[in-house]
Amino acid sequence: MLKNAKTSFKIGGSVGIIILLLGITVMFGMYQMSKVSNEIIEISQEYIPLYEIVSDIKFQKSTQAVSLEKIIRYTDSNNLQELEKAKEKFWLSGGTIDSDVERGKNIVNVGIDIAKSEKSYEEFRTLFQKLSNIKTNHEQYEILVGDLFLELNDMKSNDGLLEQIMSVENKLEIELDVMLASLSTLADESTVQIEDNERDSLTGQIIIITIVGTIAAALGFFISQINNDLKKEVDLKTKELKTANEKLKELDKMKDEFIGIASHELKSPIQPILGFAELAKSGDIGQKEAWDGVLQLTSKLQDLANAILDVSKIESDRLELQLEKIKINDLILDITKSQKINLKKPVIIQENLDENIQVEIDKIRIGQVLRNLLNNALKFTPRGIISIDTHVYQEENKIQVKISDTGFGIPEEILLKIFEKFVTKRIKKGEQSGTGLGLFLCKGIIQAHGGEITAQNKFGGGAIFEFTIPILQKNKIMNPSQLSINKKF
């Protein structure tokens, strides 16, 4: 069960992590996009118009240079009409440059406003500065050119001025080129930056998706593991059920066998009883003979019926004992005495008894056991000695009773099963007198007392039956050492 809980936890945890990571992926992607779009793209969008403006300034400046050349030429050639046209064009271009510069400054200001990083801010401030320098230089250029126009009107020599103009113009040219290069670089850089960011976010997303995929695979693996675990458990349970089922089948078979033998045993005495009834009725035999026979047979039948009932009680643990404190030797001697009276064989019954202690037993049942064992000994001993011994082990709270004989002994195939039901009735050469349940009942009675019973053959011929029972029953025990000893039984 604990293992199952662990696996369920694995699944739950994995599913949770997957959902969490998917959410993170989505949010991460969105964040990345917003991050890029907000700053960089907006800023990058500034560079292109700026570039165009500065390019236009450069163009207008070139136009002004061309116009200046024309003005000088037309002054020399005294072409007043063209001269005025060229001057007009010159100042027009200058005006365009001014407005370009203003537009450029506005765009740069916007960039300054939206710039979030220090780097971007500085970049735009630099651009603003550059534009300011361009404006300053251009103004200087136009002032010098204005002076040149005056000089030209006055026909004065103007080489020195022209040189200054050239120098300022060059300076302007350089500044414009630098700014264009700078803008170009910034545009490239921001493109690279955008690409980098996109690549990073893509990488990040790929990593997350890979992790998610791995977790999904792990999840799949866990599920298959659970599946296998469940399958194994099902297989195990099936096996257990199979075993239990086979056990039940066997018990059923044994029950059927018992019932078969029991009913046979009950029917057997009825045959001669029926015979006696018939013969007595038809007057073929005397009343006394018939009734004596019937009484004897019904007594046997009664014994068998009671034995079968006892078997049923023992099997379902319902054998009830009427416990009382009995002097054990008195009981034994009682039983041996009645046996000795009817003894017709050359057999001696000998008692070697220990102390005549009080034992807590069911008198009738233990009497039944003793009689049964003695009768068996007598049945199978044509001559010799039957001896009954007792040993008292007071500290261990047990008493041992041994009944041994000098008879035929117990055949091997019977000895193994001797305490089972109807053993002698089940084999071909079996003994046919007796109920066939005596020893089974003996074992049941002894075990109900919390004892043990064994049977074995004696070396040199004959059999020994031995049982051990507690002197006092468990609930009367006072000290703990006796408690642990009783566990043995």
Partner 1 sequence: MNVLVAEDNLFTIKQYKHVLEKNGYNVTTARDGEECMQKYNEAFLSLETESIESGPFDVVLIDNNMPKKNGAEAVREILERCPNQRIIFASAYNINSILSAPGVLKDSVEILQKPFSLNTMIAKIQTK
User: How is 389-432 classified by DSSP, letter by letter?
Assistant: EEEEETTTTEEEEEEEESS----HHHHTTTTSTTHHHHSTT---
104 near 131, Cβ under 8 Å? yes
Task: Give CA–CA dist 216/21, Å, rounded.
Answer: 12
Closer CB to partner 1, 344 or 428, in the complex: 428
Alpha carbons 53 and 96: distance in angstroms, whole number: 10
Among 49, 272, 384, 450, interactor with partner 1 by CB under 8 A: 272
**Minimal distance, residue 273 CB to partner 1, in Å:** 8
Residue 409 identity: G
Q: Exposed (0-12), middle (13-18) or buried (19+): which is 17, by Cβ within 10 Å?
A: middle
Mode of pairing for the β-strands spanning 463-470 and 452-457: antiparallel
Q: Binding partner 1 by CB under 8 A: which of 113, 118, 159, 284?
A: 284
275 binding partner 1? (CB under 8 A)? yes
Comparing CB distances to partner 1, the nearer of 203 and 271 is 271
Alpha-carbon distance 332 to 339, whole Å? Answer: 11
Question: Using the rule CB under 8 A, is 297 a contact of partner 1?
Answer: yes
Closest by CA position to 98, among listed 64, 147, 73, 68: 64
Closest distance to partner 1 from the beta carbon of 300 (Å) = 10
Q: Which is nearer to partner 1, 227 or 271 (CB)?
A: 271
Nearer to partner 1, 428 or 487 (CB): 428
- Residue 315 binds partner 1 (CB under 8 A): no
Separation in Å, CA 379 to CA 143, 303, 344 = 156, 18, 12
Radius of gyration of the chain from Cα atoms?
63
Out of 16, 23, 213, 260, the residue judged to bind partner 1 by CB under 8 A: 260
Measured between alpha carbons, how far is 428 from 431 in angstroms, rounded to an integer?
9
Choose, by CB under 8 A, the member of 133, 205, 268, 329 that binds partner 1: 268
Query: Which x/- pattern over 416-445 shows residues binding partner 1 (rule: CB under 8 A)?
Result: ---------x--xxxxx-------------
**Which amino acid does the sequence have at 259?**
I
Contacts with partner 1 by CB under 8 A: the residue count is 25
> What kind and span of H or E run contains 165?
helix 159-267
CB nearer to partner 1: give 271 or 338. 271
Residue 281's identity, in one-letter code, is K
276 interacts with partner 1 by CB under 8 A: yes
Using the rule CB under 8 A, give the single segment among 70-78, 279-287, 409-417, 481-489 that binds partner 1.
Answer: 279-287
Least distance to partner 1 from the beta carbon of 366, Å?
30
Among 144, 285, 305, 385, binds partner 1 (CB under 8 A): 285
Among 196, 278, 330, 413, binds partner 1 (CB under 8 A): 278
Closer CB to partner 1, 275 or 384, in the complex: 275
Which parts of this chain interact with partner 1 (CB under 8 A)?
A: 260, 263-265, 267-268, 270-276, 278-279, 284-285, 293, 297, 425, 428-432
